[in-house]
Amino acid sequence: MKQTKILVLCTGNSARSQLAEGYLQYFGGDQVTVYSAGVAPHGVNPLAIQVMAEDGIDISHHTSNHADEYVHIPFDYVITVCDNAREQCPYFPSAGELIHHSFPDPGHTATADRPEEDKLTSFRRVRDLIKAYCQEFIETRLPASESTLG
C-alpha cells in the first residue's frame, strides 16, 4: 500500500504545524507519513508538547525544520496552517495538492504577561481546533482509515 505523504507548514514550526503533524500521523496511522516545517523555524514550543501529551500523543521527539529541507520529497498534500507560511511557502514541484487552513497562533495570544493558565488555555483551544481539522482531513482524504482517539 502506498503511503500518503503530507507536509504541514507554518511560520516557526513550533506549535501549529507540530500539533497538526502529531494528529495527522495519529489519525492516518500507517497510511500516512507526515512531516512539518517552517519558513523561519525556531524550535518546538514546550507548551505544544504538553498539550499533546494531555491528549495522549507524544511529540517530544519532533524537531523544528526549515521547509527547504523537504522540497525534494514528492508530497501528496502540502498544508499551510498560517497565512504567513502560505505567502512564503517554497515551491514544491511534486506536491499533489496545496491546501491552506489558517489557525490562530497560540503563542501570539499567550503572551509573557499572562498567567500560565492563560497560555495553556490558548494552546488547548488551538490544539482542539487542529485536532478536529486533522481528523476530518484524514476521514475525507483517506476514507479507509479509522480514528481511535476521542
Given 15, 47, 81, 82, which residue is catalytic?
82
Per-position b or e across 107-138, b if 16+ CB within 10 A of its CB = beebeeeeeeeebbbbbbbbbebbbebbbebb
Using CA atoms, how far apart are residues 45 and 54, in angstroms rounded to an integer? Answer: 15
**Is 134 one of the catalytic residues?**
no
Given 10, 19, 32, 130, which residue is catalytic?
10
Whole-number Cα distances in Å, 125 to 74, 109, 118:
32, 11, 10
Given 6, 89, 120, 134, which residue is catalytic?
89
The three state secondary structure string of 73-85 is: CCCCEEEECCHHH
**Is 82 one of the catalytic residues?**
yes
Q: Enumerate the active-site residues.
A: 10, 82, 89
